[in-house]
Chains A and B, each alone.
Chain A
Amino acid sequence: MSQPTFLLDGQSVPFDDGQMILEAARAAGRYIPHLCWHPDFPPHGSCKLCVVKVAGRHVSACATPARAGAEVESDTPEINTERRTLLQMLFVEGNHFCPACEKSGDCQLQAMAYDLEMTTPRFRHFFPDRPVDASHPEVLLDFNRCIYCELCVRASREQDGKAVFALTGRGINKKLAVNAESGRLADTDFSADDKAAHICPVGVILKKRVGFAVPIGERTYDRAPLHEVALPKSEDSA
């Protein structure tokens, strides 16, 4: 029996039973934007950047199982406009000052804004007051740039076995917190070698004293756009 397929923007994509649309597309070398999805973890469905249109409904590609014969719209003006709006909301919700951010060029949020041709913030900035946590000797936390993808939360809990991070509060008051009575990273068992120390897609969790050691212009997304970098290398996807 041949492998089932669905149509992604009119092109056939094979999938395995139980595979989500985003995973199947990615395995076939087709990029669907995403920020909170990571191959090492189950779908999270929070950033909504992987939104696609299936049978007239807007769904998260990371959390929607592929179905044989389905027609999935992704790279269309309608869907990309929706993604840009989501990005614009993320940008104004935090304090994202790319010109002086050491993650510039390695930041997935910035790279996606370039990829989706976001040219203005559009909405009013919130300018939240979020002090940094520099208590840890090796790692700085700059909460200003958090997009609540929970990758650090998940990595610390599921891979490092530590539960250093958590999201607290609800709705507009939601924030990333450090799981210690003092709220300080130094008062946890967090290590710079943890998986959680290396998974932040934006500029929240930063190894200290690195800064601009790699010149702007020679960084990950300076060399290739996100939609190329984010796909698995050909030997992995075989």
Chain B
Amino acid sequence: MPPDLETATNRDTLRRVAIDPISRVEGHGKVTLLLDEAGQVHEARLHIVEFRGFEAFIEGRPYWEIPVIVQRLCGICPVSHHLAAAKALDYVVGAVPVTATADKMRRLMHYGQILQSHALHFFHLASPDLLFGFDAPVAQRNIAGVIAAHPDIARQGVGLRRFGQQVIAATAGKRIHGTAAVPGGINRHLSTTDRDALLAEADTMVAWSQAAVALVRRLHEADPALYDRFGCVPSSLMSLVRADGAMELYDGQLRLRSADGEVLRDGVPSHDYMDFITEAVKPWSYMKFPYVTDLGPEAGWYKVGPLARVQNCDFIPTPLAEVERRAFRAYSGGAIQHASLAYHWARMIEMLHAAEVIRDLLPDPDLTGGERMAEGPRAASGVGVIEAPRGTLIHHYWVGDDDLVRWCNLIVSTTHNNEAMNRAVREVARRELSGQTLTEGLLNHIEVAIRAYDPCLSCATHALGKMPLEVRLVDADGQCVAQQVRNG
């Protein structure tokens, strides 16, 4: 078996197995495996098969339209794109900083987004694998199965997501695709009615989030052999952190930490991302492969998202989440955790942090009154970086004197994790699948590894529950020798 499963040497003679589409993730992707006669895996790749093209078609559009247009590239975290675009364009209109009202309204919106997205991913998409087992019957391994077997967990998950969406609706104007963040500020205040309704539930949401963290921690502690090993791909970690090293999801500067915990780069201004990161292209994927430029493509790839953020920051600035962060670090004796399933634990710690931030921010009078807009000297370009639920999201725009966007660059969170997800797929293929008779449950192991990253593969669609799945065995002549179809 070749050590690197990215590209097999004798591709034409191998049989191909495709997992298409990958289920219980956002958007559409597929995995292809190339196997020899003995069932040994020679190649494993995660493909992103959709193409968005937003960078091209917003060229020539007026800049004030952009935060509303670009959020349409995703139905599950539109707030992240909405805010990253608005932050980038704040520089163009000279609104640096924005007013306290604008900053706090946007933060509240963003933490509502983190809460609802993390709840959706863990409870609706990932928990069936963790609660029932990777190869449990497919009839059970879905959200309906969770509702039947664990009604309290399911109810809290649905409730957390609902609350997060209500925070978004109260700040953005709509639960999905709101229009509140505008270049230079925000176009509305929080109504006192919405504030009071959210405050009434805020403590409950914190308690439910705590329970979710405890649930994942129990799962880890009950089966460390699985959780510490499965899909483990050591790499650097990248995220924004606050100037004092605190976890910061809305703003901050970039930090890169090595696989063994050493801070390699710190305080990198978000505007310098182009010098910091290079995006490599591979002929078999629409999704690029970013790496830290001066470390090179082999050593410079990294992970982003909850697992990176929880271990990259020095502390979490809300007390309950900080307690859980310390427990998370203590679990591995202070060593950096790289196992794919640790993403879930880190994600729930972040959900708890988001619930605390929302609860603490809601009474702030800047939300219900105060100046909404700022302005200053015009600039030709702006970079907006935000920690979206799935990781670091970068928006960069050049705007002409005529107010039209001349050029745009978007690096979405899932793109940063491209190399890590591919390596996790190869790791699972190598350890779990090679030489085995392929079953639906065994193939689901690969999906479990991908799912842990909570990828937004198209940044456009949302797949829930039992997705249609078609697996074909194709011989070296391209003939289908076996086929399994699972209808949605």
Contact = CB atoms under 8 A, between A and B. Distances in A.
The answer on A and B forming one complex is yes
B486 interface: no
A135 interface: yes
17 contacts: A99-B68, A99-B177, A131-B60, A132-B404, A134-B404, A140-B62, A209-B403, A211-B62, A211-B64, A211-B65, A212-B67, A212-B179, A213-B182, A213-B187, A215-B187, A216-B173, A216-B179
A212 B184 CA distance: 11
B241 interface: no
B15 interface: no
Interface of B: 60-62, 64-65, 67-69, 72, 93, 173-174, 177-180, 182-183, 187-188, 400, 402-404
Nearest to A135: B402
B65 A100 contact: yes
Contact of B179 (A135, A209, A215): A215
Nearest to B62: A140
A132 B187 contact: no
Most chain B CB atoms below 10 A, which of A100, A102, A131, A210: A100
Contacts of A214: 187
Interface in A128-149: 131-132, 134-135, 140
Interface string A203-220: 000001111111111000
Interface string A36-70: 00000000000000000000000000000000000
A110 to B, nearest CB: 15
B64 A215 contact: no
Contacts of A140: 62, 403
A146 B67 CA distance: 23
A222 to B, nearest CB: 11
B403 A212 contact: no
A172 to B, nearest CB: 24
Contacts, number: 55
Contacts of A208: 62, 403
A210 B68 contact: no
Contacts of B180: 215
Those 5 A-B pairs whose CB atoms lie nearest each other, nearest first:
A211-B64, A134-B402, A100-B69, A212-B179, A216-B179
A45 to B, nearest CB: 33
Nearest to B372: A213
Given A100-B72, A132-B60, A215 B188 contact: yes
A212 B64 contact: yes
Given A211-B65, A212-B187, A216-B179, A134 B173 contact: no
Interface in A94-114: 99-100, 102
A215 B372 CA distance: 13
- For chain A, what secondary structure do more than half of its interface residues adopt (helix, strand, loop), or is it mixed? loop
B89 to A, nearest CB: 10
Interface of A: 99-100, 102, 131-132, 134-135, 140, 208-217
B60 A100 contact: no
Given A134-B403, A208-B403, A209-B403, A102 B64 contact: yes
A100 B182 contact: no
Contacts of B174: 216-217
B176 to A, nearest CB: 11
B181 to A, nearest CB: 9
A140 B400 CA distance: 13
B404 A102 contact: no
B64 A99 contact: no
B124 to A, nearest CB: 25
A161 B81 CA distance: 45
B404 A209 contact: no
Most chain B CB atoms below 10 A, which of A131, A140, A211: A211
A129 B187 CA distance: 32
Given A209-B403, A215-B188, A134 B64 contact: no
Contacts of B64: 102, 209-212
B68 A132 contact: no
A205 to B, nearest CB: 13
Nearest to B177: A99
Contacts of B182: 211-213
A227 to B, nearest CB: 25
Contacts of B187: 212-215
A131 B404 CA distance: 11
A31 to B, nearest CB: 29
A132 B63 CA distance: 13
A159 B109 CA distance: 46
B125 to A, nearest CB: 26
B319 to A, nearest CB: 35
Given A100-B68, A208-B403, A209-B403, A215 B62 contact: no
Contacts of B69: 100
B280 to A, nearest CB: 31
A211 B86 CA distance: 12
A215 B173 contact: yes
Nearest to B373: A213
Nearest to A97: B69
Contacts of B68: 99-100, 102, 211-212
Contacts of B404: 132, 134
Nearest to A206: B62
B72 A132 contact: no
Contacts of B72: 99-100
A78 to B, nearest CB: 36
Given A134-B404, A215-B188, 7 more contacts: A99-B72, A100-B72, A132-B62, A134-B403, A212-B68, A215-B187, A217-B173
Contacts of B61: 132
Contacts of B188: 215
A189 B174 CA distance: 41
Nearest to B181: A212
Contacts of B67: 212
Nearest to B186: A215
